[in-house]
Chains A and B, each alone.
Chain A
Amino acid sequence: MAGVKLAGVSKVFGNTTAVARTDLEIKDGEFLVLVGPSGCGKSTTLRMIAGLETPTEGDIYIGDRKVTNLEPKDRDIAMVFQNYALYPHMKVFDNMAFGLRLRKVPRQEIEARVKEAAEILGIAHLLDRFPKQLSGGQRQRVALGRAIVRHPQVFLMDEPLSNLDAKLRVQTRAELIKLHQRLKTTVIYVTHDQTEAMTMGTRIVVMKDGVVQQVGTPKEIYNNPVNIFVAGFIGSPPMNFIKGIIENTNGKLLFKAKGITLPLPATDMAVPSNTEVILGIRPESLAIVNGENNGTQSISCEVEVVENIGSETIIHARTQGKEEVVIKASGFDKAPQMGMVMKVKASQGNMHLFDAQSGTCLITFAILA
């Protein structure tokens, strides 16, 4: 097992910068998730660590070894690909044993390791089959098995669950977490699915346009996003954003938008009056207020769509300023009807003020109920 370090690594394809100068330190045994939209550079970063792409500049270290110019085979890593990439002309056993045979591991040990991995993954009965005889989920397990038999220093996983159906994805996600807890090997995992990132990662790296936006634990990223992109990307449904201005009267901050006046908690930070900002508030931080309890802190909005998904209800509404607001409420007994005008209020969690120009987070307030 070993940590991984990226020192000033970048990758340029022609005129396109896939990964801008990146410094990243992944601790030994950590489960680090690279997350971001398509084309953000997360897979390129992973492929550079694997040795399948050469960095344009910068260095990569696995443990204390500089591996920047080493071939993939010499890096002591194992990789799981999005589309499984099994060897179709080899049986499952041979697929899993392939890497060990290349490393001249004795036959008995190969058999023992393949059997152990197959049992962990529940594919011991499939060892005599060819990949084309397996289902998608089974193939993905074989791909995982091929990686774990090697006992590598680092596991690299490139969207390994994205080809599985929703149910299998949730199941395999839990199995991967268990597997990591059991093996304690460093994992670098690429996904575009923020739920996977939040549930699996000990730390998350959010990327956009080849640039790392924020690195932190799932909790840090969720509660204290550094900018509007991270705030909007992490969390489902995404955070609500309302454009407005700040009024600062003797240190008392007031957020104002069309039809909305929200007093904000006291802060040490000096925000001049009339600063254009974007207020960010998560759907689960908003609650519907009753008619008699509609003080100045509530936001009036019209219900457009109501999605009942069993344990919770997602309400899409529009403010007087025509901004869309999503509210996540538990249960659906008291769900409002479409077309109804209702009032909502920030009731728990955090509120964020972002600079309207740069998108940087200016202040994060804890909501006082």
Chain B
Amino acid sequence: MFRRRFSLGWTLSVWGTVIVILGWSLFPIYWMLVTSLKTNMDVFKVPPDFWPLKPTLENYTALTTGISPIGRFFFNSLITALLTVLITIVLATLAGYALSRLKFRFRDQILVSVLVTQMFPLVVMLAPLYLLYVKAHLLNTYTGMVIAFTSFALPFGIWMIKGFIDSVPVEIEQAAMVDGCSRLKAMWTVVLPLTIPGIVATGIFAFLDAWNNLLFPLTLTNDIMMKTLPAGMVLAFTGQFKHDWSGMMAASFITTLPVLILFVLLQRYLVEGLTGGAVKG
């Protein structure tokens, strides 16, 4: 097999770029970990210590022994994020399929209107949403939060999955229908397995959207026991007269872990194309 040879200068510059980008991406995570292992006194040291000279786990133990219900925040985040993922994937897949494959009136207009909903800043909608939620008795409920998160993740998900379904040749689906599938069965057995990367990407996006969302849980819940991690942490570690940065970094690190694990487990679906060999390329 022919293999292209690169000059030393080119190789060095490629590796240099990779290292800069990696540093740019990973340094905040490193700094979060390092800060979480320092005392609050050490955090404000100038110049800062790039490695904790006296590492301590007291910030982590404080998470479980402190007065803030971090465990409850974690549970709330997990349940609302997972439900958001589930509902977004189901709805985005059905809508994406319909918008990709079926011909009906106003299809293009619907597609654009889905996108338009993404153009409103979240802050603009908070007050009216709060008033609506009061009337609908959705404040301080998982249902309320899941509806809010889903409404923001869904338009992106629909566009994303529609794009993936567009890339699956329609002949494969027609072949399945001739082979004995109904439209729904062809979608389930042939189209969906080929759009797994899109479904996974949509799921990750919905999860991140729900997991990291601060404003919705901050506004739509006033019961501390219903707060999710971002909103709970803001209330637990910051206030008018306190800024417990090392405690917040410990909580942030714990918060980041599920997202990291999710990426590591699912990243192969994001980079892998599944339609190779289906039709003549």
User: In the complex where A88-B194, A89-B194, A89-B274 touch, is A83 in contact with B178 (Cβ < 8 A)?
Assistant: no
Given known contacts A89-B193, A89-B194, A102-B181, A132 and B276 CB-to-CB distance under 8 angstroms: yes
| Tally of A-B Cβ pairs under 8 angstroms | 89
A83: nearest chain-B partner, CB-CB: B279
B171 touches A73 (CB 8 A): no
Whether the pair A71, B177 counts as a contact (CB closer than 8 A) is yes
Given contacts A52-B174, A83-B169, contact A133 B180 (CB under 8 A): no
A163 touches B280 (CB 8 A): yes
Q: Does B239 contact A (CB under 8 A)?
A: no
Which of A74-82, A194-202, A304-312 contacts the other chain? A74-82
CB <8 Å contact, A77 and B278: no
Q: Using Cβ atoms and an 8 Å threshold, which residues of chain B touch A229?
A: none
A203 contacts the other chain (Cβ, under 8 Å)?
A: no
Given contacts A52-B174, A79-B175, are A85 and B278 in contact (CB under 8 A)? yes
Tell whether B113 is near chain A: CB-to-CB under 8 Å. no
Interface residue ranges of B157-193 to A (CB < 8 Å): 169, 171-172, 174-182, 185, 190, 193
Q: Which residues of chain A come closer than 8 Å to B180, judged between CB atoms?
A: 73, 99, 102-103
Q: Which of A70-119 contact B (CB under 8 A)?
A: 71-73, 77-79, 81-89, 98-99, 102-103
Interface centre among A78, A86, A89 (most CB of B within 10 A): A89
B194 to chain A: which residues have CB within 8 Å? 88-89
Question: Are A134 and B177 neighbours in the complex by a CB distance under 8 Å?
Answer: no
Q: Is B47 an interface residue when CB atoms closer than 8 A count as contact?
A: no
Please indicate the chain A residues that have their CB under 8 angstroms from the CB of B128 in the complex: none
A131 to B172, CA, bound (A): 13
Binary per-residue interface labels of chain A (142-166) against chain B in the complex, 1 for a CB within 8 Å, 0 otherwise? 0000100010000010000001000
The answer to whether B277 touches A139 (Cβ under 8 A) is: yes
Q: Pick the contact of B277 from A50, A88, A150 — CB < 8 Å? A: A88
Pick from A78, A88, A133: contact of B278, CB under 8 Å: A88
The CA-CA distance from A77 to B179 in the complex, in Å, is 8
The one of A102, A132, A139, A156 that contacts B179, using a Cβ cutoff of 8 Å: A102
Interface residues of B in 250-281 (CB under 8 A from A): 274-280
- Provide a sorted-by-A list of 11 A–B residue pairs whose CB atoms are within 8 angstroms: A50-B174, A51-B177, A73-B178, A82-B171, A83-B279, A83-B280, A84-B279, A86-B279, A98-B176, A98-B179, A132-B276
Q: Hey, which bits of chain A sit against chain B, CB under 8 A?
A: 50-52, 71-73, 77-79, 81-89, 98-99, 102-103, 130-134, 136, 139, 146, 150, 156, 163
> Which 6 A-B residue pairings sit nearest by Cβ, starting from the closest?
A132-B277, A131-B277, A102-B180, A99-B179, A83-B279, A132-B276
